[in-house]
Amino acid sequence: MTLSASFKAAEQRRPSRFGRMLEDRLPYLIVAPAILILLLVGLFPLIYSLIVSFQRITMTENDTSFVGLLNYAELFRDTRLWASLGHTTIITAIALPLELLVGFLMAQLFIDRMPGRQIFVALLVLPTVISPIVAGATWRLMFDVRFGPIGQILSFFAGEPVRILWTVNPSYVYPAIIICEVWQWSPFMFLLLLAALSNVDQSQLEAAEIDGASYLRVLRAIVLPAIAPVIAVACLIRGLDLVRIFDIIWALTEGGPGSMTETISLYTYVQGFSQFETSYTAAISFLVIALLTLITTLVLKRMELAR
Amino acid sequence: MRIGRLPARKARILAVRYLGAGIVTLLFLFPVYWLFMISFKTPDEIYHVPPLWIPGQIQFSNYYVLFRDGDVLAILNSVIVAGVSSGVAIVLGTLCAYSLARFGTGGENLAMWIISQRMIPPIAVVFPIFLIYVYFGLVDGYFGLILLYTAFNLPYVIWMMRGYIVDVPLELEESALVDGLNRWEVIWKVVFPMVRPGLMATSVFTFVFAWNDFLFALVLTRTEVITFPVMLTHYFGGQSNFWAKIAAMSVLGTLPIFVAVSVMQRYLVRGVSLGAVKG
């Protein structure tokens, strides 16, 4: 008996008309509240924002006349916007492979069973679950030029006092952000890759070992193909997060010095909440959504092709 | 595993691996240690050059200050907002997931639309939401934030719970129906108990997401319901940072997460990968 048939059978034993109506509509009744909230908080603002993006509202002027694509045309002339997209790309392009590599090396270290492994894994996951704002704050303490331990450690190895203004000096702000980012999210990659690696077919690995295959060859021929789908998912999740990076940079540099580390999220925030360029901010939001949708679709297509 | 190797060699390899594991753990936990330690330091010790790696004694005055000045209310706000929004998202999301999983409501399209809601970057919606919230007077109140976090977490809950519910054997539900239970009873008495572990894990993750959020809270709170990440950024100043407060507040705001995640360790992989990797 199928599920719906058995539901019908159950209904026949329940004569109450109201009860029956409730049960008939149940699939929709229980979907409705969630969908309603998603429409209200997810879709409604987007539609509102779309309308605003064709108007000309700023803090001083509530000009609701429609100006067509004026705000969107403005996007192309906005050098600070494209610079912020560039900063976002730089951070993503460096941090993502680094996180993947560090996470993979960590997973390799812990793949074989050893006593106490669970404790190590539990401890190593800590950076990933703490709030990104706390992570940023922590590294700001670490990097501090006078009272932080990083300078002290570097001085010890250099044999002379090293004074680096990590969060202010233009040459060091990006390394600082990326160190913090990699510290927080490598354990995330580690966790996923550890799970993926332990699902690799053991008999294949043993056969390869008996044949005397080298480590690199086993890695390339057996391990990497087996964990490729997990790597793809991990990179997609982290990639999307990196493109909208905000918290860590807010805590570390607030986009500075000047606007040197301003990412697209920070720039949108500044336009919306310090400049109050209401309509223009709406246009930027849609640019961001369009770019992310494009990237996600391309990645998902490639992932499906690879399968 | 090769046969006939000397145990001494094995022991050496194990020792090297423990060494590696120790170094890696040390590197990753040192910043956490530094944060905890600063929260126990006196001002003299915090602003000591060169930095001191071990506080002279464990003292709680940094925490005392937070309690005395009422700063811990931010933690309480976070507990309320994250707790209530997770609860609501879990109940509504699980019901929705049941309908998607068992009746195929809306087909694949609805499921894809729901998960695509999660892909929308917060920065793209926070501004229009702010405008609408200003219009309806929802800024700086519990209700606005709770509604927002509920909506933010719903796609995740629906997606995860759909996965867990699909794993429940259909026969169980069918036999319950044959025994005369109605659909509500089936959901409450058969499905919920079966997915309870997944439900617990998903609740923890929704709580953590809401707890850790900064951007929405930054925009939608002013003075009344400041959450803990926003409070933390208030301690950063142009000239001087209130390090003792930053450290103590960070620790207070991190402890609940540590506890929750340690309890749910078994589900961590599936939870953070949107169920794509079954841990």
Judged by DSSP in three states, B78 sits in: helix
Burial class (CB in 10 A: 0-12, 13-18, 19+), B222: exposed
Give residues with Cβ within 8 angstroms of A166, minimum separation 6.
A143, A145, A150, A172, A173, A175, A176
Interface of A with B in 86-125 (CB under 8 A): 106, 109-110, 112, 114, 118, 120-125
Q: B226: which residues sit within 8 A by CB, 6+ positions away? A: B73, B74, B77, B217, B234
CA atoms within 13 A on the CB side of A49: 27
pLDDT value, residue A1: 46
Tell me whether A213 touches chain B (CB under 8 Å). no
Per-residue pLDDT of chain A (307 residues; tens, 9 = 90+): 455 555 555 555 555 666 666 677 888 888 889 999 999 888 888 898 889 889 888 877 777 778 888 889 888 999 999 999 999 999 999 999 999 999 999 999 998 888 888 888 888 988 998 999 999 999 998 998 888 889 888 888 888 888 888 888 888 999 999 999 999 999 999 989 998 898 888 888 888 888 888 888 888 888 998 898 889 888 988 998 999 899 999 999 888 788 899 999 999 999 988 888 888 999 999 999 888 888 888 887 877 765 5
Of A27, A196, A288, which is closest to B105 when you measure between CB atoms?
A27
Residues of A in contact with B228 (CB under 8 A): 131
Give the residue among B49, B102, B111, B131 at the shortest CA–CA distance from A34: B111
CA distance A47 to A53: 10
In this predicted model, what pLDDT tens digit does every residue of A75-116 receive, in sequence order? Answer: 899 999 999 999 999 999 999 999 999 999 999 999 888 888
**pTM for the structure as a whole:** 0.88
pLDDT at B31: 95
Cβ-count burial A192-219 (b if 16+ within 10 Å, e if not) = bbbbbbeebeeeeeeebeeeebeeeebe
Question: A113: which residues sit within 8 A by CB, 6+ positions away?
Answer: none
Does B4 touch chain A if contact means CB atoms closer than 8 Å?
no
d(CA A187, CA A120): 11
Q: How far apart are CA A121 and CA B28, in angstroms?
A: 11
CA A77 to chain centre: 28
The CA distance from B150 to the nearest CA of chain A, in Å, is: 8
ipTM of predicted complex: 0.88
SS3 B74: helix
Is the Cβ–Cβ distance between B58 and B40 less than 8 Å?
A: yes
Mean pLDDT by 10 residues, chain B (279 residues): 63 89 94 92 82 83 88 92 95 92 83 83 88 88 93 92 89 86 85 88 90 93 89 80 88 89 78 72
Residue A154: exposure state from Cβ atoms within 10 A (0-12, 13-18, ≥19): middle
Per CB-CB distance under 8 Å, the chain A contacts of B33 are none
At residue B219's C-alpha, the angle toward residues B214 and B223, to 5°, is 95
Measured between alpha carbons, how far apart are the two ends of chain A, in Å?
36
pLDDT of residue B155: 93
Assess contact for A177 and B81: CB atoms under 8 A: no
- Per residue in B22-44, is it b (16+ CB within 10 Å) or e — as a string? eebbeebeebbebbbbbbbbeee
pLDDT at B110: 87
Measured CA to CA, the distance from residue B203 to residue B164 in angstroms comes to 13
> Looking at residue B279, what is its pLDDT?
54
> Which neighbouring-strand residues pair with B158?
none
Instruction: Give every CB contact of residue A29 below 8 A, 6+ residues apart in sequence.
Output: A22
Structure tokens at A126: 């800590």
Q: What is the DSSP letter of B138?
A: -
- Test A134 with B232 for CB contact under 8 angstroms: yes
Q: How far apart are CA A300 and CA B6, in angstroms?
A: 49
